[in-house]
Structure 1
Amino acid sequence: MKRIALLGGTSWPSTIEYYTKLNQLINQELGGHHSCPMILYNIDYHEIKSGYANGWNEIPGLLKTEIENILKLNPDGLIICNNTLHKAFDLIKNEMHIQVPVFHIIDLTKTYILENNWQRVLLLGTKFTMEDDFFKQPLIDAGIQVEIPDLHERIEIQEIQSELAKGIITKEYEEYFQKLTNKYVDYDAFILACTELPLAFEKVNSKPVLINTITLQCQKAIEFIIN
């Protein structure tokens, strides 16, 4: 069976979600005692994370080094367990000539929205992801209407995300996102474009579909492994 590499630790609570989801999905497909063949390459996230605010010139190079290290382990496919790092990946992917599939979080999200004929989506993520174009623009170019919460909400979401990334999940965070989904009820779907956000959405009842980008990556990886 093919083996998937996870570039994780970005952050560690959401990396656990990838590990769990991949094992659950392959066992659902194959039954028995099957689990997912994978390499978990857990980086020290501090240097990359510290550059998000004003050190973006260095981040692509740091990510390139980590990807080169993980590819030396000869995986059959690669998952980058982070939404924001796909901005850096897109800046270096052409020069890297990677020979295995990379399950690209934005491409998969775009395809999923188009397949379901959704027209209007709300992008939730870190403040950087919501305000930058790296996630929005490919969707907009495909004819999807992408909107983001207002500034005050973006700041609040960022504060919550920072705590989720430390493994801190509270009832108050769930209640906050329940109120948010109730406010933006007229959208077709919400994109949870931050790998920590699903941790706070597990008990949220939402009329718009919740697009868990972790699930999209893992589903595509499992399809690749077993076919």
Structure 2
Amino acid sequence: MRKLGMIGGLSWVSTAMYYDRINRAVQRRVAPMASAPLLIESLDFHQLWGLLEDQDWKRAETVLVDSARRLEQAGAEGLLICANSGHRLYDEIAAAIDIPVLHIAECVGVAMEKAGCKNAALIGTRNVMIEGFYRQRLVAHGVDLLPPDMTNVEAIDRIIYEELVVGKVTRSAERTLRTIITRKEQEGAKAIVLACTELDLLVDVDANVLPVFDSTRIHCDAALEWILGEE
């Protein structure tokens, strides 16, 4: 198995989900006692959330690039950024190291294309929903995305940053997501993209009114294939 580096702590909740899912998959595929060869650097999310200004993102770029370099120097042969929002800095991180970086939105786009999905609603943090760095990857795979509704953007962003990233799951948040997904179906969406690594804490991915493409699961599945040399 190839050794995978993970930039984690973005948040610790999602990093734990990655670690659990990847190891359970390796255990199923390789051997009952097998575990994935992983290098994880858990960053301080207090310094890296709610980034709005260019100077904030420039500071974050330095932190994430330095993390990627440390993981490469420690022996990682490939890299995951364990967050959707952090992929705003994907190009800068990938350019700074000599090992492959598995882009989460690219993995989602490939999965949607294979499934024949041509129309979807994107749900995640504010920058994922309204900026082009994530949406363009999906569009490149033939997916037509519904425009973001700013009321939903604010509600979902608040739930993510005030609740999910600190490990808090509430019935109110679950109801809010169910309502938003139902409205997206009424607006013509044929699928939902969960483009926040913590959102499957709230959304039943396997039993929903619409097909759900969960970025966390898809990214972890791609990581498994890479670790096993099957990508």
TM-score, length of structure 1 as denominator length = 0.91
Partners in 2 of 1:38 and 1:85 — Cα distance?
19
Amino acid corresponding to residue 112 of structure 1 in structure 2: A
Partners in 2 of 1:7 and 1:193 — Cα distance?
17
Q: Within the alignment, does 1:81 sit opposite 2:85 as a pair? A: no
Q: Is the contact made by 1:182 and 1:206 (CA closer than 8 Å) also made in structure 2?
A: no
Partners in 2 of 1:139 and 1:30 — Cα distance?
31
Q: Within the alignment, does 1:46 sit opposite 2:42 as a pair? A: no
Distance 1:204-1:29 versus aligned 2 partners, 3 A rule: closer
Q: Is the contact made by 2:192 and 2:210 (CA closer than 8 Å) also made in structure 1?
A: yes
1:167 aligns with: 167
Q: Is the contact made by 1:63 and 1:89 (CA closer than 8 Å) also made in structure 2?
A: no
1:208 aligns with: 210
Instruction: Tell me the SS of whatever aligns to 2:154.
Output: helix
Q: Within the alignment, does 1:138 sit opposite 2:137 as a pair? A: yes
Q: Within the alignment, does 1:22 sit opposite 2:8 as a pair? A: no
Distance 1:131-1:203 versus aligned 2 partners, 3 A rule: closer
Partners in 2 of 1:126 and 1:109 — Cα distance?
16
Partners in 2 of 1:224 and 1:128 — Cα distance?
28
Number of equivalenced pairs:
224
Deviation at 1:64, TM superposition (A): 1.0
Q: Is the contact made by 2:90 and 2:103 (CA closer than 8 Å) also made in structure 1?
A: no
Q: Is the contact made by 1:178 and 1:205 (CA closer than 8 Å) also made in structure 2?
A: no
Deviation at 1:33, TM superposition (A): 1.2
> Deviation above 6 Å: which 4+ runs of structure 1?
none
Unaligned runs of 5+ in 2: none
Distance 1:201-1:36 versus aligned 2 partners, 3 A rule: same
Partners in 1 of 2:57 and 2:91 — Cα distance?
13
Equivalent runs, 1:108-119 vs 2, <5 Å: 108-119=107-118
Of 210-219 and 117-126, more deviation after overlay is shown by 210-219
Instruction: Tell me the SS of whatever aligns to 2:142.
Output: coil
1:182 aligns with: 182
Distance 1:37-1:11 versus aligned 2 partners, 3 A rule: same
Q: Is the contact made by 1:77 and 1:221 (CA closer than 8 Å) also made in structure 2?
A: no
Q: Is the contact made by 2:129 and 2:153 (CA closer than 8 Å) also made in structure 1?
A: yes
Deviation at 1:45, TM superposition (A): 2.0
Partners in 2 of 1:203 and 1:117 — Cα distance?
18
1:56 aligns with: 57
Equivalent runs, 1:88-103 vs 2, <5 Å: 88-94=89-95, 96=96, 98-103=97-102
Partners in 2 of 1:222 and 1:13 — Cα distance?
20
Unaligned runs of 5+ in 1: none
Partners in 2 of 1:203 and 1:108 — Cα distance?
17
Deviations 1:184-208 (A, max 9, x none): 2242221111111111114784232
Q: Is the contact made by 2:205 and 2:212 (CA closer than 8 Å) also made in structure 1?
A: no
Instruction: Tell me the SS of whatever aligns to 2:117.
Output: coil
Equivalent runs, 1:60-75 vs 2, <5 Å: 60-75=61-76
Amino acid corresponding to residue 215 of structure 2 in structure 1: T
1:4 aligns with: 4
Partners in 2 of 1:188 and 1:26 — Cα distance?
32
Amino acid corresponding to residue 131 of structure 1 in structure 2: I
TM-score, length of structure 2 as denominator length = 0.90
Distance 1:39-1:45 versus aligned 2 partners, 3 A rule: same
